[in-house]
Structure formats: structure tokens, C-alpha cells
Amino acid sequence: MSDKLYPNIINGEYLPAASGKTLALTNPATGDALGAIPLSSAEDIDKAVTAARAALNGKWGRMTASQRTKILFKAAELINARAKEIAELEARNMGKPMMHVMGEVKQAVEDFEYFAGAASKIEGRVPPVHPVFFGYTLKEPVGVVGAITPWNYPIMLESWKVAPALAAGCSLVLKPSEIAPCSANILVEILHDAGCPEGTVNLVHGLGESAGAALVKHRGVNKISFTGGTDTGRVIMKECANDMKRVMLELGGKSPAIVCEDANLNDAVLSSVFTIFYGAGQSCDARSRVYVHEKLYDAFVEKFVAATKTLVVGDPLDKNTHIGSLAHASRLPVMLKFVEAAKQGGGKILCGGEQLKGGLYDKGTFFAPTVIVDLPEDNLCVQEEIFGPIVVIGKFANDDEALAKANGVKYGLCATLYTESMPRAQKFIRGLHSGIVTVNTPATALPGLPFGGYKQSGVGREMAMETLDTYLETKTVLSGVTGKPINPFGLTLS
């Protein structure tokens, strides 16, 4: 049994929770103990926010943009140097294949490099105004940021929030998911080693309903940046309205892939297999609905199922593994609930649909990659985010029907289109109610391109210059140029 504690880091100090309580962590693929985190409360959050405010008013707040740039570039360098260590820790913490996690750690490096360069590009404007005035704008940090991150891409999504906040000059309190929190400790250590003054980035572990809720409610926090489920995001948005906190929400998805009749069939199959089963489907942009033109449908389904059956589900540390375990045992009954809903709705399970058993599988939380067909559009599996290795494949007769089905859910994060016709691609790009549209590629998230969604998929964009502006306030400055105050009423005083 591991007795390692991943402590809170507040004002540069390594601390337990004020209550002394801890939460045990388990490797979801093996059942082995990983250690524990503090179960923090409002008292710990208050201490962290106080430290962040002091840093903002102190050494960190006095740093120039060029100094912040150097710190962020150094952080990128240090993350890269410890990439293998971070990736192995995350693979053990959440059950994702290490080769996949390595790619996510490398993107974290790119995120810090991108925003390191952006820190010195923060500029106001001097708009033309009446000649008796001089007006300009300043960009200033929004203040203390509460960053709440999920378990499916730990260090990558932490970087999506921490890097732009620091580039803008904000200070932070980071609350990672209690399911996969370990790499957050390495990230905060790296930021201190890179030159962040104490209190600039504070780490508080704990549950969402206690530590997370306390962070959202704290009056000393100026902005909440949250990635997670839509239901939780809705609660956070309502709470932030009480004191008008700025809020960024990257929420759920039920993203479609659309395979047109002129698509390259084999390419569309292999790409679509990746877009749903990468990370065991535990991704907000997983293309969990695939709509195929009726002329290609039968061939596509046959090839898709055949490809799915070749996927290796196993040890996350084995380089041959395609799919690891689910991130937590609590996900298993959720998967079974959706499979049952599909059966009740008349769907056919072409492969998977069950927890894997025997050998290695008995030690962890493994679920078979699952393919379902013949479901009506109002079925739970079609409408709701599953967040697991389950895909629904349907058919369409024409472009308009494909668009109607693709847009027929409450989410609008991502959509992928397979076609060799650029005019058709343009029609779909304009017609899809989605924050991200990809054409003939499974990729969705690259630094410099805004990531975020329409409808109930969230508010705001991450990973781009548009992101930086959400961590800044705009101040308008106006002065007269005559050398003395203007007297509009024309009054005189004796």
C-alpha cells in the first residue's frame, strides 16, 4: 500500500488539509494504491485565495510581461524534461495508455510556449476621439482565478487554464479532480522552479462539493474557469452570478461524425474508430455519434466493427495498448445504464456492451469498446453524453438530413466531416451548430486555435489569443488635452 501524500501547495508551502482528512487514490487498471490527497475545505480554500491575492498585490503583480514570458518558457522546458515521469504517473492515475498521455504532456509544453509568447503581446488601443481629448485603453489582469479541472486530460487541461492566466498576470488557485490529481503537484512544483513567486499558483485538493464549491463561492476570487460536466457548469454559472465573477465553462459534448457518400471509406472508418475510442471515449470531443450516408452505411458498419475488434484493451503502460481502463470504478454502472437504454430502445449491440473479465481485467475497471446501431434519435444513447467507449452509428439519405441529425442535441462542441467535395464541406461547416468543425481529420485541439462549443457545451474559448482576453479586464482612460478641466456648464465662481 502506498502512503505517499500529494499535499496542498499554498504560498509555496506543502500542507495537509486543515481537517487532517485524506482521500485514498487507486490505479483504476490494477487496483493498486497510489497514495492520498488532502480532503480540503473552505478553510484551506480561504488560505489559498489569500495567498493568491497577496502575490497579485506583491512580487507577482509587479513583474513585467517579459519576466512572465521567461517564466512560462522555463516552465515549458521543465515540463518537457519531466515528460516521461508525468506521463507514467498519469497513466497509473487514470488508466489511459502512456503513449497517449505522452502526447498530452507534449501539448502542455506547447500550451506554455504559446502563452509565453503571448504575454508580451497584450496591448491596449488608442482609438480616434474628439481632438480635445486623449483616449486609450489598458489591459489588466482580471485578478485571482479559480481553476477547476477534470480527470480525463489532467496536466493538459490544467495547462489550458494556468498558462493563459499567468500570461495575463493573474494569480491562481488550482483545484484538480480528486480522481486524477497527482500530476498537478508536479506542475505547481515546476512553476515554482521556473520562477513564479510564492502564492502565484496555489494547489488545493479535495472534492467538488466541498473544496470546489468553496472556491466558486469565495468572494476573493474574480474568475472561475471550469472544465467538466454541463450540470455542474450550470450550478457554477448561477453561483458566479451572485457576485458577478467572470466565468469560463468548457462542458459536455455529444459530437457527431458525418460520412458523406463521396468520402474515402477506409480513411473514414479508421479515423472514426480513433475519435470515439481514444481515451476509452472519456473525452468531451469524442465523436460518439457517427452518421453515414445510406450508400456507404452497410460497408462502413462492417469495417468499423472489424476494426473495433482489433483494438487492444489492456495495461496502460504497455506500448501495444490502444485502450486502457475507465478512470474510476464509478464509471462502470454508467456504461451499463446506457447499454441497457440502447437495448430497451431497440438498438443492436454489434460488439462490446459489457465489462471485461478475466486475468488483468479482474483487477481493474475495463469496459469493452461498444458499437450500437438501429437506435431512434430520441434514445438516451444518442442524446446524452456517455463519456465512455460507446458509439452509436446511424444513417442519412441527404445532406440536409445529416445536418438535422447532427444538430439535434443540446450540445455543440465538435463535429467531424468526411468528404472529398470542398463545396459540400463549406455547406456543412456553415450549417453545423458547433464550435469546432474538422474536415477529414480526427484532430480537434491545437494551440492557437480556439477550443470551445455552442449551446450547452460551454461559454468561452481556450487555447488561443481569444482565451487570453478572458483573463484580462479592459480599462478606458480619457483625459483632456487643454491642460485644465473642462467646464461644460460655463459657470464661474467668485
Q: Which amino acid is at 297?
A: Y
Separation in Å, CA 441 to CA 182, 261, 262, 416, 465: 32, 17, 15, 7, 23
Give the active site residue among 284, 395, 405, 414.
Answer: 284
For residue 46, how many other CB atoms are within 10 A of its CB? 17
Closest Cα partner for 326 from 381, 288, 283?
A: 283
* Whole-number Å distance between alpha carbons of 232 and 469: 24
Give the active site residue among 47, 74, 96, 161.
Answer: 161
Closest Cα partner for 430 from 471, 399, 463?
A: 399
Give the active site residue among 90, 110, 178, 462.
Answer: 462
Separation in Å, CA 332 to CA 128, 172, 280, 364, 474: 60, 34, 12, 11, 46
Residue 260 falls in the annotated catalytic set: no
Alpha carbon of residue 344 to chain centroid = 33
Residue 189 falls in the annotated catalytic set: no
Name 464's Cβ contacts closer than 8 Å, sequence gap at least 6. 447, 448, 449, 450, 451
Query: Are the CB atoms for 417 and 258 separated by under 8 Å?
Result: yes
Residue 245 falls in the annotated catalytic set: no
For residue 294, how many other CB atoms are within 10 A of its CB? 12
Residue 284 falls in the annotated catalytic set: yes
* Whole-number Å distance between alpha carbons of 134 and 481: 6
Q: 104 — alpha (psi -120 to 50), left (phi > 0) or beta? A: alpha
Closest Cα partner for 90 from 133, 28, 149?
A: 28
Which 8-state DSSP code applies to residue 58?
A: T
Compute the Cα dihedral for 15, 206, 23, 182 and give only its sign: negative
Helix (H) or strand (E) holding 164: helix 154-168
C-alpha cell at 397: 439519405
Name the burial class of residue 125, with classes exposed (0-12), middle (13-18) and buried (19+) by CB atoms within 10 angstroms of its CB.
exposed
* Whole-number Å distance between alpha carbons of 91 and 315: 9
* Whole-number Å distance between alpha carbons of 32 and 25: 9
Phi, psi angle pair for 450, to nearest 5° = -60, 135
C-alpha cell at 313: 484493451
Give the active site residue among 178, 250, 261, 385.
Answer: 250
Instruction: Give me the active site residues, please.
Output: 161, 250, 284, 462
